[in-house]
Amino acid sequence: MTASTANAQRFREFKMPDVGEGLTEAEILKWYVQPGDTVTDGQVVCEVETAKAAVELPIPYTGVVHELRFGEGVTVDVGTAIIAVDTDPGAGPAEAPAAAPQEAAADEEAEPQGRQAVLVGYGAAPSSTKRRARKPQPGVPAQPEPAKAALQAELNGRAAPAAPATPVAPAVQPAPAAPAGSAVPAAGRPLAKPPVRKLAKDLGIDLATILPTGPDGIITREDVHAAATPAAAPAEAPAPVAVAAAEPGTVDTAARERRVPVKGVRKATAQAMVASAFTAPHVTEFITVDVTRTMKLVQELKQDPDMAGLRVNPLLLVAKAFLVALKRHPEANAAWDEANQEIVYKDYVNLGIAAATPRGLIVPNIKDAGAKTLPQLASELGDLVATAREGKTPPAAMAGGTVTITNVGVFGVDTGTPILNTGESAILAFGAVKLQPWVHKGKVKARQVTTLALSFDHRLVDGELGSKLLADVAAVLERPKRLITWG
């Protein structure tokens, strides 16, 4: 066994698992251990937030934490190692399981001798072209090539490149009294061909201010054009100033805005809502119903011994009414299989309950809700809501839903047009119950009234079926004894 193999067996890496159905990433919310802590097989080491919920991760190794690969708040792809554990801490000094960084550092130090790495590709290769040494001008001291380049850039009104530490001879510095972009003292007449002199004259450029780049110190046409470039710059300078000037009455709001990365539950919700809204053709219908008898039944059930210790509220009876209506119209409990071009009719109801949590909206569901008694439904509904508010809902609890209820009435809202949960056929919005004037037995009386809204996938549910489904839910809530006669 080689040393590297033994080292790999000693240091075990725990990778980010797929804790949901096909999730690709998760954010590390909190570490429960630190390097040097002892861990055992099955011990929870961190809490992560997936696109569906917060989940605690147990580690499958026993040993000492060697390294935490990522800090809290970092989003990590599934399959990436997040923690390394030394499974044999008594074997001697610990060695990093990764490749020795010294080799990489040595490579980085050696790299500047050739082409240097940049963000994309590599920088320019060192030039192998050698130029002929220029003959010095009479009376003008020789100067290094970098100094000439910097000086020419300065004369042309451009930013000078970074110069080496070699000091520039004072003789080549511009005269203090000269205007910006000019003044290179030169002894004698500058060397230039007649056409170049005419060009300089036409452009108003003094040849004495140009640093020659041609052979034997001759000024070229390119030198003249380069020196003339800054002349056009002042004419364009006022434009940025005008743009930068703030208009009267303009308020800068950037300091009062906050930007938050889209991730976790919020990201998953956004993707699901967009996919649903632009995939399933939505239809929403509304009905207003007198639920006075249902509200009385809620109060009676709270006193029933069979419901002792259970949370009884109007949502419980709305859920039961929805289940009874679906039993009468099972064709509405279906799913659209685009890949196989099939409609999947389901003989079970996994009832989703939209829950607002500190991390965003989630929709856990009660499995096989249609087969449960009222006390069983109340128990599971209470557990589902409590777990969701604590942020402990497992991904499995949010998978496989068939229909959903959203209780917007708890916010005092009359109703809305809910968007289908992806893959489901219908969603029922339960609005606020309010005391309103209502015609009851031929007289106007104050009754407890609510508005229901049903959105459904029009590929699966046509107008007649959707209308009958919503009407039956309202009928049960108007006369809750139908829970017995229809159930």
- Among all residues, which ones are annotated catalytic? 458
Q: Where are the alpha helices (DSSP H) in 132-193?
A: 145-155
135 within 8 A of 217, measured Cβ to Cβ = yes
The amino acid sitting at 93 is P
- Of 205, 196, 147, 204, the closest CA to residue 171 belongs to 147
312 within 8 A of 301, measured Cβ to Cβ = yes
CB 321: neighbour CB atoms within 10 A? 28
CB 415: neighbour CB atoms within 10 A? 19
- Residue carrying structure tokens 């066994």: 1
CB 78: neighbour CB atoms within 10 A? 16
The span from the CA of 85 to the CA of 230, in Å, is 63
Angle at 350 (CA atoms; ends 347, 354), nearest 5 degrees: 150
What does residue 243 show for φ and ψ, rounded to 5 degrees? -70, -40
464 within 8 A of 283, measured Cβ to Cβ = no
Q: At what angle do helices 314-328 and 292-302 cross, to 10 degrees?
A: 120
Angle at 266 (CA atoms; ends 316, 394), nearest 5 degrees: 55
The span from the CA of 388 to the CA of 394, in Å, is 9
Reported as type and span, the H/E element at residue 236 is helix 221-236
- What is the torsional sign of CA 458, 459, 461, 462? positive
The span from the CA of 85 to the CA of 65, in Å, is 5
- Of 441, 412, 142, 433, the closest CA to residue 314 belongs to 433
